[in-house]
Amino acid sequence: MTKNESQPFWKTKTLEELSRTEWESLCDGCGRCCLVKLEDEDTGDIHFTSIGCKLLDGRTCQCADYKQRRRRVRDCVKLTPDAVRSIKWLPPTCGYRLVAEGKDLKWWHPLVSGSSETVHEAGVSVKGKVVASETDVPVEMFPDFIVSWPNKVPKVAKK
Q: State pLDDT tens for residues 54-75.
A: 999 988 999 988 888 988 898 8
User: Around Cβ 70, how many Cβ atoms within 10 Å?
Assistant: 13
Residue 142's identity, in one-letter code, is F
The pTM for the full model equals 0.90
Mean pLDDT rounded to a whole number for the chain: 93
pLDDT of residue 159: 76
pLDDT of 56:
95
Q: What are phi and psi of 67, to 5 degrees?
A: -65, -35
Phi and psi for 57 in degrees, rounded to 5?
-90, 110
The mean per-residue pLDDT over the stretch 6-17 comes to 95
